Structure 1
Amino acid sequence: MRNRTALALATTVAALSLLPVLPASAAAQDTNVLTTGSAAGTAVAVGDVLTAPLSSGTTATLYSSATGTSGVSCTTSQFTAAVTDNPASSGTATESVTAHTFSGCTSNVLGTLSVNSVTVNNLPYVTTVTSDGVVTVTPASSSTPIQTTVVLSTLLGTITCVYQASSITGTASNTDNSIAFTAQPFTKYSGSSLCFSAGYFTAKYAPVTDTTQSGSPSVFVN
């Protein structure tokens, strides 16, 4: 009886030794930071292009104070970014923002008649996205800041107001596949005294979609 038991154990050990040994990462692979279709869905491929318009019924604003309502408001805005890295959810995804546009803009600043243009300069920008939904936008080069140029028509003629920031931070939400920026501070770099002395950027973009993929599925953060 003991001989049979020993023989059975030896046979089992020999069989197990022939099984392939899988690395831990293959046995329990994390989901990626950015996925489409659902949370923990299909990983967004490096090189895919993501876009998002303003969330329906909202505006993008650059106000003169964090809590005020004086400044520039735009009814249309959209960003475009290419994914440059999308690691497992324990890491940080990165994107390159190649376009950020604004239109349908008006101003309620005293002395201004209309908004001729709002232009984002110094593109591309680098965007990082962490698994907890923190979105940070920084310049691609340390020698150039994030910059927005606002051209206004005023009672005294056309003026150009330039605002800069070293970085801005937003929050991603899987509830509506959005990215929201709230009162992100910019300083006035140049412009007439009619330009407000500081700008605070607020906007909510939704849904963020992967336009490279068929059907442009929504993007989730994990």
Structure 2
Amino acid sequence: MRTRSLLTLTAAVAALILPAVSPASAADGTVLTTGGLGGTAVAVGEVLTAPLATGTTATLYSSATGTSGISCASSQFTATVTDNPATPGTATESLDAHTFGSCTANVVGVLGVTSITVNNLPYTTSVTSDGTVTVTPASGSVIQTTVVLRTLLGSINCVYQAPSLVGTADNADNSINFTAQEFTRTSGSSLCFANGYFTAKYAPVTAGDAPVFVN
């Protein structure tokens, strides 16, 4: 009995002296990792890339729920990690390039799409631990895209602007999804629809060949 009492007392003292390791602290890491959740931290300066998810297109439609406008079979972004703090937190990236290709249009009077160019790069991209992805321009600038269309009247430029874009990261397929993000036409003829709604799913987001997870 005395031995059991001493063992109980010793265990109680040890519990008071030794720090407890909670599940949260055991899983401490950075917001962006490779190799899985809680995996290897993505280094500052690492370049991230992502193409369109297989079987999807990037679209700029004239309404949030319609199907009239522009559709692109290829698109890719490239971003450089500028900060990757401990989770929960907000990682930041510099969006250095955003390209579109193989684009078509189904707008009356438009024969085809010559090019789509993203202007005013780089943009700042923030990724929070809850998966929210926000793209913002430099101070005093705007997110801007110039669309060059071939029409019955010749080539026209349609310029669209937005204050920011908001998407969602999903660890299930290492994707970033933008849905009906609104752009406003700031210049161009009446063949350029007044508002453009951008939708695209990019996957997988990778650092090198390794998929990136949001923690």
TM-score when scaled to structure 1? 0.85
Residues 80-126 of structure 1: CA distance to partner in whole angstroms, max 9, x if unpaired?
00000000112100000000000000000100001000000000000
Which of 197, 202, 208 is residue 200 of structure 1 equivalent to?
Answer: 197
* Alpha-carbon distance in 1 for matches of 2:164, 2:173: 24
Alignment RMSD = 2.0
Which of 106, 109, 121 is residue 108 of structure 1 equivalent to?
Answer: 106
Give the percent of matched residue pairs that are identical in Structure 1 and Structure 2: 71
Aligned to 1:219: 212
Structure number, greater radius of gyration: 1
Aligned to 1:182: 179
Is 1:149 aligned to residue 156 of structure 2? no
Counterpart of 1:144, as a letter, is S
How many residues get paired? 199
Aligned to 2:33: 35
TM-score when scaled to structure 2? 0.88
SS at the partner of 1:110? coil
SS at the partner of 2:139? coil
Counterpart of 2:66, as a letter, is G
Listed as ranges, the matches of 1:34-73 within 5 Å are 34-73=32-71
Q: Deviation at 1:28?
A: 5.0
Aligned to 1:3: none
Gaps of 5+ in 2: 1-9, 20-24
Q: Deviation at 1:142?
A: 2.1
Contact 2:27 2:38 in 1 (8 A): no
Contact 2:81 2:92 in 1 (8 A): yes
Aligned to 1:125: 123
